[in-house]
Amino acid sequence: MWRLKNILLWNLMAAVIVLGQAWPNTKLASQSSSGLKADCLGNLMRLSMDEALAMGNQLVVEAINGTQCVLLTPTLAAQCGYSMESDPWGNTRIYTSLMGCFVDNKDDATFKIGLKLQMYSQRPSDVVTHEVNQTCSYTRWAPKEILCDRNYMEVSNYLMKANPQTKRPAQDQNVDSYLLEDSGASHGIWKMTFFTPEPVVMVPREAEQAGYSAMTTSNRLIMRSPYNTPETFSEDVAGIPMEIFKVSVYNKAESGLGIVNLAAACPTGGVLFTESVISWYIPRRMTPLMDGTFRIVEMHMGINGQRLDRSQMAARGYTLSTTDFHIVAEIPVGSPDGYYKSHAPEYQYYVTYTVEPMLEVLWRADGTQDDIKYKVLFPITTPLMPRLPQVEDYTVPEDGVFSVMLGGFFHDVELKNITFVTGVLTVEESNARGLIVQEHIYTNGTKGFSLQVSFNADVVLKTNPEPLVTTYSLPLTVGLIILPDGTSFAHEVTLQASLQDVVLPALTGTCDQKHFYVRVKYGSQDRNFETAVGMRQLTPDLAKAYKLQENRTHLILRVPYNAQDSNFELVSSVSIQARLDIVLWEPNNQWVLGDLSLACSFPLMTTKCYPNGTITAVAVKLESVPSLVPSQLTLKDRSCRPVFSNDRFAHFSFSADSCGTSRTFFDNYMVYQNEISLYHKVTAKTSPAEPGYRQTIYCYYMVNKTQTVAFSHKPRSDDPRAEIGTGLLMVQMRQAQDAAYQHFYKAEDYPLKKYLRDPLFFEVVLMQSTDPQLELIVENCWATLQEDRTSVPQWDIIVNSCENRDDTHVTVFHPVKDNIAMPSHVKRFSMRMFTFTNNNEVLRDQIYVHCDAVICNTNGPPDGICRGQCVHPTGTKGTKFQGLKGAKREQRSTESTHQWQLSSGPILLSN
């Protein structure tokens, strides 16, 4: 195969020169010897050209023959003693036999070789020409020398001036000179007989046309044959396949026509491979070349035509030894004298190693000086060796970065692109997106590529094998290309790392007098969960019913205490204890990520007693009696059923003297009692439901008092006067739409939506009173998160009838215009919209405003709060804020005979 490779190279050269002859206006570029080196190596001259000179060029070689240049085609090169070896990157060696056709030979001692190199670039007009002339001396010729090069076999034999042992055959005694000329004889050669092994006779002209070369010098006869010609044959010698040619040459010598028997045998195999060593076997006795007993006098090993001494061989790990039948040269795979080449058959990575050993052997026949010198240049390429790319994962999960090294490649491999789950990126595109790709060169001649990718990159996949664990996966396909032929292949890599880095969502809750408020703060994976409220999944419709509010960090639900999804746990005459269960779960694995059971007591009057003797009662289905059907409940009189019922409540209305109601007296009270229960008709086949239900109803009425009145018939001494009576005053708080206080918000306008720091205008009015001696004073006002005026946190707006001085946006009191009938019955003020924060985090996007108002008698002593609205400013207890507010407030007393409690809201903070 290596001979075919060289033939292809020579064919390429021939094709290039043919193309070059068609190029017009070819210019001769400046000549330079940089990158060229000529060496004399025994019976060869070697011209070396490095890749820097040949890179990107097409090479044409001509032999200089005196004043002419002869194009060395592949056929002519093999015929005339020229060979060329080039690696894939353009490092080239050209070998010339000192016995070559176009070598100027001076007495077989001094040899002048001339070569002309022409390198054509991609532009036909640019040609770089180099002429190389080298003179070599070589005098250590053996009587018989055999040279085995890549593309030809050469044998030369010393011509004896007179050879009395060689007797001319009788039929050749009368050969005339005209016969030599007629046969195309060269240098006195008349004809030759090839043994294949059958004899084939040719005259020199025929032999030259067949590709052979036969010539004589002043002292020697040279015969040269390409490989695999019809006149060569194959034979195993000591188990080694050899290419052989044998020929008898009829040569006109001084003593007459002589016959010289020539033979050459060159190895075509004999190489064994292991992963680490190349073993090259040559027959110790070359039977096609010798008869009788021969012994080895000298034996040398070389590389690229250059002989090595023992120290050089030892430094490289080369050995040269003999066995009974073979000469064995051993070369470590990876020796610096050879080179690796990458390959990718079927898109898998393989490598070959190529090295060009040389063997020189000198055989000598016992008792004579009839020496045979044998020289073989034998390029060896290993079979394809699989080279699985080495993946080194240096990822430290805590660093949050994938770090991987892909190595084991040789210098002819380049990284082309990387395929991620999001698409294919070139190296440049990867680095531009923060995916760090780098190339690394190692001292052993290999290279690797490193990649660093953050866990947060969009090319990384994230899964959760456990609720608190995230597994990060980076599947990628590395696309590589082999130079210079551009063969591509790929290698798949999947990296994984796990971290216990999941922050689960957090649930908190509060209640006011009517609602549950549930707040869910998202964890590290945003809203990747489903929500269950009670036994139902939170659908979009349900979320709308429960006033869902959400942003990128949290969500808030407002659920009425009597919603379908709440559970009633306990009921009393004035309140009901309800519980709301919230569960967050991961839908793929059904993991519970968080839960909350929020239980609160809500005001509920289950029994109401009216002065006319009417009693109303509400029965509630509790969680402890799940099978209860409220419509089946009755009073003591089983005919008294609910006037209204649903799946959770039953409402009863009856008079105190009906439905089995009992009456008892004690002290000044009369007590009516009844009972709500579930009636079961017990039969032999049925049993009462478990558990039972019983709710007792009590109504207390104060017994009327009797007052004695005296009567006198005497005339009255003064005018009659009315007894002091009692009445109700009504105070209202409302919110104006602007500072003019002309238009006010209605109940259906709530909740209002305001931006941060928008002005809010409030008015507090004493209603339905025309008494000019009364004055309304706004004593205190504050804001809360919940509708419950006693809930915390709180922020003071008005304190002791004055604005909160600690507030950077101070409350402003507005005068009441004269067109108001009773200005002393009206107070107006404004404030700025704000919201509550905790550690710079908004607690809830709404506020309620509450006020306490006092009615004062202007004719009475002006003491306390009745001195007037902010007549005596006092110290305040607010907390300073910056843009957003948050403060706790002492719980206020709700027991005052002269105090009215007012509230407004909710007011929502608009984004």
Q: Is the pLDDT of residue 100 over 80?
A: yes
Determine the Cα–Cα distance for residues 577 and 623; give it in Å rounded to an integer.
Answer: 11
Q: Is the pLDDT of residue 306 over 60?
A: yes
For residue 3, is it within any domain? no
- List the structure tokens of 783: 């804001």
Q: Is the pLDDT of residue 96 over 90?
A: yes
What pLDDT, in 10s, does the model give residues 781-795? 999 988 888 888 999
* 777 and 905 together in one domain: yes
Domain extent for 413: 388-463+483-489
Span 60-64, average pLDDT = 94
Per-residue confidence band for 683, with pLDDT thresholds at 50, 70 and 90: very low
* 309 and 408 together in one domain: no
Backbone angles phi and psi of 356, in degrees to 5? -120, 85
Q: Is the pLDDT of residue 576 over 90?
A: yes
Distances (CA, A) of 685 to 491, 589, 679, 680: 78, 47, 16, 12
- Pseudo-torsion of CA 116, 120, 126, 130, nearest 10°? -20
Determine the Cα–Cα distance for residues 148 and 376; give it in Å rounded to an integer.
Answer: 5
Per-residue confidence band for 19, with pLDDT thresholds at 50, 70 and 90: very low
* 214 and 301 together in one domain: no
Per-residue confidence band for 891, with pLDDT thresholds at 50, 70 and 90: very low
Between 753 and 292, residue with greater pLDDT: 753
**How many domains does the chain contain in total?**
7
Nearest CA-CA partner of 779 in 801, 811, 764, 763: 801
Structural domain ending residue among the three candidates 576, 603, 630? 603
- Conformation bin of residue 239: beta by default, left when phi > 0, alpha when psi is -120 to 50: left
Span 852-873, average pLDDT = 79
Least confident of 133-142, 229-238, 382-391, 872-881: 872-881
Of all residues in the chain, what percent carry a pLDDT higher than 90?
61
Predicted local distance difference test score (pLDDT) of residue 197: 83
What's the CATH number where 392 sits? 2.60.40
What's the CATH number where 817 sits? 2.60.40.4100
* 905 and 758 together in one domain: yes
Q: Is the pLDDT of residue 570 over 60?
A: yes
* 459 and 566 together in one domain: no
For residue 9, is it within any domain? no
DSSP 196: S
Least confident of 423-427, 499-503, 565-569, 906-910: 906-910
Q: Is the pLDDT of residue 206 over 80?
A: yes
Say if strands 357-365 and 294-303 run parallel, antiparallel, or are unpaired. Answer: antiparallel
How distant is the alpha carbon of residue 253 from its chain centre?
83
For residue 83, is it within any domain? yes
* 293 and 352 together in one domain: yes
* 421 and 514 together in one domain: no
Residues forming beta bridges with residue 517, ordered by sequence position: 510, 558
- Conformation bin of residue 238: beta by default, left when phi > 0, alpha when psi is -120 to 50: left
For residue 371, is it within any domain? yes
Predicted local distance difference test score (pLDDT) of residue 180: 41
Instruction: Tell me what the pLDDT averaged over the chain comes to.
Output: 84
Determine the Cα–Cα distance for residues 565 and 776; give it in Å rounded to an integer.
Answer: 45
Least confident of 199-213, 668-682, 714-728, 804-818: 714-728
For residue 690, is it within any domain? no
For residue 884, is it within any domain? no
Per-residue confidence band for 311, with pLDDT thresholds at 50, 70 and 90: very high
Per-residue confidence band for 577, with pLDDT thresholds at 50, 70 and 90: very high
Span 884-906, average pLDDT = 52
Q: Is the pLDDT of residue 326 over 90?
A: yes
Structural domain ending residue among the three candidates 139, 168, 195? 139
Determine the Cα–Cα distance for residues 282 and 358; give it in Å rounded to an integer.
Answer: 11
- Residue identified by tokens 């033939």 is 7
Omega before 164 within 30 of 0, i.e. cis: no
Determine the Cα–Cα distance for residues 190 and 384; give it in Å rounded to an integer.
Answer: 49
Predicted local distance difference test score (pLDDT) of residue 675: 94
Number of Cβ within 10 Å of residue 800's Cβ equals: 16
Amino acid at site 484: P
What pLDDT, in 10s, does the model give residues 454-486? 999 999 999 989 999 999 999 999 999 999 999
Per-residue confidence band for 894, with pLDDT thresholds at 50, 70 and 90: very low
Amino acid at site 862: P
Of all residues in the chain, what percent carry a pLDDT higher than 70?
85
For residue 780, is it within any domain? yes
* 800 and 904 together in one domain: yes
Question: Is there a contact between 363 and 295 (Cβ–Cβ < 8 Å)?
Answer: yes
User: Which pTM does this prediction carry?
Assistant: 0.62
Between 381 and 727, residue with greater pLDDT: 381
Determine the Cα–Cα distance for residues 604 and 575; give it in Å rounded to an integer.
Answer: 4
Determine the Cα–Cα distance for residues 786 and 792; give it in Å rounded to an integer.
Answer: 8
* 95 and 209 together in one domain: no
Q: Is the pLDDT of residue 870 over 70?
A: yes
Per-residue confidence band for 865, with pLDDT thresholds at 50, 70 and 90: confident
Say if strands 401-410 and 446-454 run parallel, antiparallel, or are unpaired. Answer: antiparallel
* 252 and 349 together in one domain: no
For residue 646, is it within any domain? yes
Q: Is the pLDDT of residue 583 over 60?
A: yes
What pLDDT, in 10s, does the model give residues 702-737? 765 433 333 334 443 443 333 333 345 678 889 999
At residue 788's C-alpha, the angle toward residues 784 and 792, to 5°, is 45
Predicted local distance difference test score (pLDDT) of residue 679: 77
Q: Is the pLDDT of residue 176 over 50?
A: no
Per-residue confidence band for 56, with pLDDT thresholds at 50, 70 and 90: low
Write the DSSP assignment of 607-629 as a string of letters: EEE-TTSEEEEEEE--TT-TT--
Q: Which of 33-42, 266-275, 888-897 has the highest mean pLDDT?
A: 266-275
Per-residue confidence band for 636, with pLDDT thresholds at 50, 70 and 90: very high
- Pseudo-torsion of CA 98, 100, 102, 107, nearest 10°? 50
Omega before 197 within 30 of 0, i.e. cis: yes
* 759 and 857 together in one domain: yes
Structural domain ending residue among the three candidates 236, 268, 300? 268
Q: Is the pLDDT of residue 22 over 50?
A: no
Residue 692: CB partners within 8 Å, gap ≥ 6? Answer: 625, 677, 678
Between 873 and 6, residue with greater pLDDT: 873
Q: Is the pLDDT of residue 24 over 70?
A: no
* 640 and 551 together in one domain: no
